[in-house]
Amino acid sequence: MTVSVNSPVWQHVNKQRTVKHVGTDWTSWCIRCCRGKDTVMALLWRRLKLVVTVMMVNLFIFIIIARHNSQDKNGHKVRIPSKPFWNKLVASPAYWNHQQQILDLHNNPILGANYSDADLPWANDTSLTSDPCQPNSRVTTQVKDYNSLPARFKDFLIYMHCRSYPIMVDQPDVCREPPFLLLAVKSLAPHFDRRQAIRQSWGKAGVIANQTVVTIFLLGNATAGDHHPDLSEMLHYESVRHKDIIQWDFRDSFFNLTVKEVLFLEWIQTRCTSAQFIFKGDDDVFVNTYRILDFLKGLSEPKARDLFVGDLITNAGPHRDKKVKYFIPESMYIGTYPPYAGGGGYLYSGVVAARLHNVSQHVALYPIDDVYTGMCLRKLGLAPEKHKGFRTFNIEVKYRSNPCAYKSLMLVHPRTPQEMIQIWAWLSSPNLNCQ
């Protein structure tokens, strides 16, 4: 049986699905040819649905074929490029960038060990396979203006691959009681007064605002080669007395602060994995520990896990003026810097510390420690956050002696030992009344 568009069935479909109000024509036609009108209705209805579905599918296939044909006619065919459409990886002329390219190749999970040295001969740097802590004399020829670089660059480059130095003073039990906040202060052996001021003020270890706070000082060696007096006995006395000194046997210089950073990340993983949060900063800053604890306690769980906050520096790059402390020659680094938090002080979670420790093994050491940490964060896909409570470039002169100016801040740089004690006294006073 076929159903034409003029048939009563079609008309019925055009109206409504309800079978109740069918016309007289329909009833008579139905009685003429069928036994029961309900059975024939159901049969017709099912057939109609099938026919409409088949028509729709045909139309669809037609549209697809038509489109495909018209595309071919217009020349939009799939074409396979005859040459590779990507750029072949070429060695960067800058030493750090080049070392990072090599690290990236060796750590690439897809390339693995599968790229051949014949393809990329520059990626086979034999200085990487020998003992990384032996002086690497190859840099003297690999860095094109090596001989004209200031001495600190030569020192850095020769030991750039060395990340492990022996620990001379350790505090294995300092985190026996898991700290809510670990305050890690970069210090230099002769800075006894700064360390003592920190102990008596913002770095007062113990329980502050009901949270366990632990303070440690991170030191390298103030060597005779840098004309430092021999302070080793005083330092020994200090570490026995306060049990808060961590010291490694490397030359404590500005360009070795990155070494201090990676050694500290390693130390956390061996001695203080229980720390929930870590503040790392300089010994010439004032830290409002009360405000930091307050801030940390108010964080949501996901925010706390990925925390990395400080005084954010964005859109920066290397200084090319030789007279600037942060000067970096083009033979060493090209490109911009990732966003990073100023090294005066920043705050992060124990989880981030573990991740930084892992990823730092895949980032070549860079002579500026806070930029290096920014590079590690970028590799992790974590964005450091700006918090306006971190004032590494100080506050306006007129507010500096106003106790209330410090109440909502987390860090101010720079402050002398006496100023630290003064400001801490202001903030700890029960009479401090700021609205």
Q: Which positions lie near ligand NAG, rule CB under 6 A?
A: 112, 114, 117, 124, 126, 152, 155-156, 159, 210, 221, 223, 232, 249-251, 253, 255-256, 259, 354-355, 358
By beta-carbon proximity to ligand NAG, the closer residue of 358 and 416 is: 358
User: Shortest Cβ distance from residue 126 to ligand NAG (Å)?
Assistant: 6
By beta-carbon proximity to ligand NAG, the closer residue of 10 and 115 is: 115
By beta-carbon proximity to ligand NAG, the closer residue of 26 and 295 is: 295
What are the backbone dihedrals phi and psi of residue 279, each rounded to the nearest 5 degrees, phi first? -105, 130
User: Shortest Cβ distance from residue 198 to ligand NAG (Å)?
Assistant: 23
> Half-sphere exposure of 161 toward its Cβ, with a 13 Å CA cutoff?
21
User: Of 424, 435, 385, which Cα lies nearest the Cα of 290?
Assistant: 424
- Alpha-carbon torsion angle 378, 380, 383, 386, nearest 10: -90
**Cα dihedral 190, 194, 200, 205 sign:** negative
By beta-carbon proximity to ligand NAG, the closer residue of 220 and 417 is: 220
Give the type of residue at 308.
F
User: Shortest Cβ distance from residue 232 to ligand NAG (Å)?
Assistant: 4
User: Shortest Cβ distance from residue 213 to ligand NAG (Å)?
Assistant: 14
User: Shortest Cβ distance from residue 159 to ligand NAG (Å)?
Assistant: 5
Q: Which residue reads 């009681």 in tokens?
A: 177
By beta-carbon proximity to ligand NAG, the closer residue of 156 and 286 is: 156
By beta-carbon proximity to ligand NAG, the closer residue of 246 and 259 is: 259
User: Shortest Cβ distance from residue 397 to ligand NAG (Å)?
Assistant: 35
- CA separation for the pair 209, 192 (Å, rounded): 27
**Contact (Cβ atoms closer than 8 angstroms) between residue 337 and residue 319:** no
Give the 3-state secondary structure of 26-37. HHHHHHHHCCCH
User: Shortest Cβ distance from residue 289 to ligand NAG (Å)?
Assistant: 16
79: exposed, middle or buried (C-beta count within 10 Å: 0-12, 13-18, 19+)?
exposed
Strand partners, 215: 183
By beta-carbon proximity to ligand NAG, the closer residue of 48 and 354 is: 354
**Contact (Cβ atoms closer than 8 angstroms) between residue 187 and residue 217:** yes
